[in-house]
Amino acid sequence: MNRYDQWLSLPPVSIHQWRQADGEAMVWHYAKQNAFGQPAVFNLFYAGDNHAVGEFPVLYWMAGVWQRYLPHPAYPLRWIGLLLMLLGSWAFGWMALKINRHQLLAALCGSLLANAPILAYYSPDFLPDAPAFWGIMLMLACLLQAERSQKPRWLVLAALLAILAVSLKLSLAILPVALVLSWVLGRWQHRWPIHSLWNSRWPPLILSGSTLAICGVPGVGNGMLFTGCGTTTPDKPSHLYPQSLSP
């Protein structure tokens, strides 16, 4: 996390710069025109249409709204990623605290995760991968709290976070699917107490609603890749226009 004071003010740079620039371009267009269902980039090389296809663009939309009403910082998408990293690492440390009941170990777990090089690099970035991972961490914390409190509202919140994470990065569905399969197996083998939240009507209802929501989210069916017309490609790098991204 060293030199974040400089990193947070940088335009798209370094690895996957072309893809980062696409993300910032969508932020710029959302700041100009608040049309959530019409993400757009600057590339007109293909059909003259700059509308893009990709993952669920909620982070770009949030950054665009931020940029529309607040002139600073220059790249709010980095700050949104940093906030999610702090929340996700705190959630991981909180889970360690509740499981091990050791404050120092919990603080160490959260700090180690936040300072993992790949997460520290990609979290305050223009890509959705790290934010999706932190969404999974928050989902796990909500599931643990649902187990502790036996209240369905935490299960609902966990499902919403899982929907968000999977919509941002389809491959992160691995853990939610594994947890669902574990719950199904436990219920089939009658491992849950009769009056447990996991043996109630809430899990199947929430699971059905989450599945329908994920299948209906734009971008999930595209494999989280920019495959539509109007997106930049590695041989058409967009590093020439970061200076023009300010609204």
Give the pLDDT confidence score for residue 241 in this predicted structure: 36
Query: What's residue 242's pLDDT?
Result: 39
Q: Say yes or no to pLDDT of 11 above 90.
A: no
The percent of residues above 90 in pLDDT, for the chain, comes to 55
Task: Please write the tens of the pLDDT for every residue from 84-98.
Answer: 999 999 999 999 999
Residue 106 counted as domain residue: yes
Cα dihedral across residues 22, 229, 65, 69: positive or negative: positive
- In the chain, how many domains are there? 1
Is 122 inside a domain boundary? yes
- Predicted confidence at residue 197, as pLDDT, reads 94
pLDDT in tens, 70-87: 888 889 999 999 999 999
Q: Quick check: 235 pLDDT over 50?
A: no
Does a structural domain hold residue 246?
Answer: no
Mean pLDDT value of segment 140-152: 96
pLDDT at 17: 86
Range of the domain at 163: 4-240
Q: Name which residue leads in pLDDT, 177 or 41.
A: 177
What integer pLDDT is reported at residue 164 of this predicted model?
A: 93
Residues in the chain: 247
Note the pLDDT of residue 15: 80
Residue 44 predicted with pLDDT over 80: no
Confidence of residue 218 (pLDDT cuts 50, 70, 90): low
167's CB contacts (< 8 A; 6+ apart) are 55, 56, 58, 214, 217, 219, 220
Inter-CA distances, 212 with 58, 102, 163, 208, Å: 18, 40, 10, 6
- Is 133 contained in some domain? yes
Banded pLDDT at 49 (limits 50, 70, 90): low
Residues 216-242: what's their mean pLDDT?
Answer: 41
Q: Strand, helix or coil at 28?
A: helix
E strand segments, the chain = none
Is 247 within a domain? no
Is 245 inside a domain boundary? no
The answer to whether residue 167 sits within a structural domain is yes
pLDDT of residue 86: 95
Give the percent of the chain with pLDDT over 70.
Answer: 82
Q: Kindly state the average pLDDT of the residues 205-219.
A: 80
Residue 217 region by backbone torsions, left for phi larger than 0, else alpha for psi between -120 and 50, else beta: beta
CA nearest neighbour of 80 among 67, 65, 63, 92? 63
**212 pLDDT band (50/70/90 cuts)?**
confident
Report yes or no on 191 lying in a domain: yes
Q: List pLDDT tens digits, range 132-142.
A: 999 999 999 99
Q: Indicate the range of 104-118, 136-150, 168-182, 204-218 predicted with least confidence.
A: 204-218
Question: What is the pLDDT, as a whole number, of residue 231?
Answer: 41
* pLDDT score, position 100: 92
Q: Is the pLDDT of residue 109 over 90?
A: yes
